[in-house]
Each structure stands twice: as C-alpha cells, then as structure tokens.
Chain A
Amino acid sequence: MTEYKRTALYNQHVAMGGRMVPFAGYELPVQYPTGPNAEHKATRTAAGLFDIDHMGQFRLVGPDAELFLQYVQPRDVSQMKVWDAEYSYLCYADGTIIDDIFIYRLPDEWMIVVNADNRAKDLFWLDTHIVNFDCDLVDISDPTYMLALQGPKAQAILQKLTDFDLDQVGFHTAARIQVAGIETLIGATGYTGEYGYELFFPEEKAVAMWELLLETGADDGLLANGLAARDSLRFEACLPLYGHEITAELEPMGARLGWVCDWDKGPWLGREAVLKNKLEKSGLLLVGLEMIDRGVPREHYDVAVGDEVIGWVTTGMKAPTLGKFLAMAYVPRPYNRLGTELNVLIRNKPKKAVVVKRPFYTPAYRR
C-alpha cells in the first residue's frame, strides 16, 4: 500500500471535517463540509485559506546564482528586482516542460517554488546542470511551510496581523514580515485569479498560523478551501496545472506560455526547440471550450470534428462563478479559432461545444 505523507495540518483538516484524499503523494482535503462551490465562492467574494505545504521550495545562493537561473529557465531574471516574484518553467532540451515554477529574487539569494509531484525530478535536473556554476541549490521544502490566503479580503485580513504596510507589497512582489510574531516571507502571488498572498514560514508554526488566519478572517467570510475549490478557481482563470495543461509531452507555445521566454538573454535549456516550435507554429494549442449542448466536459474526454478525434480535454467542469460548462482542451490548428464548433465526446456521445476566449474569468489583477 502506498504511504502518503501528511502535512502538519492533517489533524486540523480532519477535525474540520475535511474529506482527505491522496494528492501529489500527500493526504490533503479535497473539500470541507462547506463544499467546493461555497469554498470557491468565498475566495471570489471574500477570502480563502489553502494548505499548500505539498509545494516544494529550493533556495539558490552563490555568486553565479543569477547566471545559473538564466541558463536553466526561459525568463530574463536580470530584469527582476530584489523582492520580485515571477512565473516561469523548466524545459528539457527538446522543449517539453519539466515543471512550472515561481522564482523569488530575495536579498542575496533566490527561492524557486516547484510542484510537489516534480520536486525530486526538478532537483535532479537542476543539480545536473549546476556543476559548472558557483552556486548551491538546497531543498528547503521540509522546514518551510506554505499556505495561500487569497481573495478580495486577503489583504485586510493579513493586515490585522502585521504592522508592515501591505500596500507596499505590489502584485508579484515579496516581503519578509512578522505575522503575529511569526517570521514570514509573503509573496503577492497565487493560483486563484484573485489578489492574495502565499506565505512561507517555519513548519513548527503551521498550526498557529492556520488557526490565527481562520479566526482573524472569520468575520470577513474567509473559508478554508480544499483541493476541489483550488482547482475550479485556477481553472476559471485558465492558470495551467502541471500534469494537465502542461506535461513532459507538451511544449510551452502550445500551452500559451511563450510570453515567459526571453530570446535575447543568451542560451537557455530548451531555447532552440521552443523557438523552432514558435516559428513553425506546429503542434497542438490549448483552447477554451464552452458547451453548447448540455453535459459536463471532463479531463481526458476526446474532442472531435464530426467523428474524427482531434484533441482532448485537459480540465473541464461547471465553472462555479460563471455557471457555464467549460473546458480547456488541446486541438490542432485551425480548430483553435474563436467560434469554431467542435464536439466533446461525453460518455462516447458527441456534444457540441464552441471555442471561446481564455481566460474564462478575468483575474482581479488584470482588470
């Protein structure tokens, strides 16, 4: 039998009635008794709190740290100022994606946040390439706890617990602050399409921080969110999830992630393959689909033109905020054009859908 890891908040989740499921090697709550739709709505209209300690963190330090980062990922990190936090990913030489990551530039060091499932793979890959660089990569995932506090009330809630003026922490920047006396690195980042924060602090403070945030946010309508709500929130904002929209079989251009790439900074791993893909406009493209016929599109369902299968659904559901049956799917050109009618095979029956604009839900920080 597979042994699943438990986060430091396992007992809290169980006591709250969380429905525990295996996810990325951990036992995590897929939902609380409030239910995914109510949790999703709380994050969109007030605030949501997420246990995301399964995420991994690496610390990168040394004279060549910036050079190393320039080489192993596509973003030009020389453009990042101290306290900036930005999205990127790691590619194999053939341009396929190893993982998507967040890079934090901190005073005298960098932090890389990675997906739980990919932690060992990422570490191995980065260690393979670090040998020629004068810097060290340390996996700090175990001592580092990670929570996300997201939603329109997130700032007001966190502000009640710190003297640090949170107006100073702009979108995609970070700060080291005290949260009720707990030394915390916060990033104005997230995975919900709302403003909010991701918090990094010592694991032994996990229970204290969790209970403090739940209690402080209760009057503002904060709810603990399980994995189901986390998935529906990121889905509406069309934020990719590794293993679904991006995998080691897929390339950044198809996943609509070309905007991360810098073509002038010099060589980086995967550059030639990604550039070739960009110029040739080959391969599958990620699109948004809205169902015309009734039915729930789900991951792995085939997408077809008539009877001919041309692609597949990567994530699909009834979007809680929008009330529509929506999907993200991979299809080849020219079926990516907005307004194209396609079929989603729902339990082997063709159901009509139309290609629509992404994201389905415009993130708060892009309005």
Chain B
Amino acid sequence: MSYTFDANARYTETDEYARLEGDVVVCGISDYAQHSLSDIVYVELPAEGDIVAKGDAIAVVESVKAAADVSAPISGEIVAVNEILDDSPELVNEDPFGEAWFFKIIPADLGELDDLMDAAAYEAYVVEREA
C-alpha cells in the first residue's frame, strides 16, 4: 500500500499528526490510520477550552470496523474543534491532513513537538508495521 504523508507534520506512535500553524498545532489522524480503520462513520471530539496532556485519549474515531481512541499529541489547551466532522465523518477518509483535522491546540510546551516523529521517521514506522 502507499499512503500520503504530510511533510510539515509530526507524528505519534499511535498515528496522530500534529502540525504547527502560526501559534496553534493542528491535530488529526494520519492517512495510514484512516486507511487501517476503513470507512469512518463517527467522530467524537473534545470541547473547546479543555486542557489536555500529551497522550490523553481526548477524541474517538469510529469506523465500520472498530472504535479507536485519538490521543493528544502534545499538551495544551483545545482552542478549536472541527465540527464539520459531526455530519461528514467520511472526510477523514478523503482528506485526513486537510479538511478533516480534529482539533487545534495552543501548546503548553512547543518542545514536545520535537519528541514526535518527523514524516520520514513516521513513514519508516508505517512500513515496518506493514511488513
């Protein structure tokens, strides 16, 4: 299989991405993750204003196959959630890095981003699991 990777994003071992845009970090699930889950039917998002810690399960994505937790890739405050996903969860399959972002975080510590994998490392990590 071939997947797309956003070169500007960093990635967790649980397949979330985090992309710095100005002073917010846009988060969602990777193309590999949406593909593994199959058709997405439901997304449960956190609330704006939630203070979250890196690794906390703060959202849920459900596909025809299974329910999966979505964790905060970094610590901080949720400043926006993508309500379009309430009515159009299939966007996660179509455009995971673009229209189907899940939430935006004002990071508590930008340095946490450096602990995440860059696109090349994440791609290697995906290939390793596919083998």
Contact = CB atoms under 8 A, between A and B. Distances in A.
Contact residues on A (Cβ < 8 Å of other chain), bracket: 10 to 19
A325 B41 CA distance: 9
A318 B64 CA distance: 8
Interface stretch (A165-173, A205-213, A294-302): A294-302
A249 B86 CA distance: 38
A318 B38 contact: no
Contact of B64 (A37, A294, A295, A325): A37
Contact of B39 (A35, A295, A298, A347): A35
A36 B42 contact: no
Given A294-B44, A295-B44, A347 B38 contact: no
User: Chain A contact residues: over half helix, strand or loop, or mixed?
Assistant: mixed
Interface string A2-30: 00000000000000000100000000001
B67 interface: yes
A36 to B, nearest CB: 5
A37 B60 contact: no
A325 B44 CA distance: 14
Contacts, number: 35
Contacts of A317: 41, 64
Contacts of A295: 42, 44
Nearest to A38: B39
Contacts of B41: 296, 317-318
B67 A35 contact: no
B67 A347 contact: yes
Contacts of A150: none
Interface of B: 38-39, 41-42, 44, 60, 62, 64-65, 67, 86, 90, 93
Interface of A: 19, 30-31, 35-37, 228, 232, 294-296, 298, 317-318, 325, 347
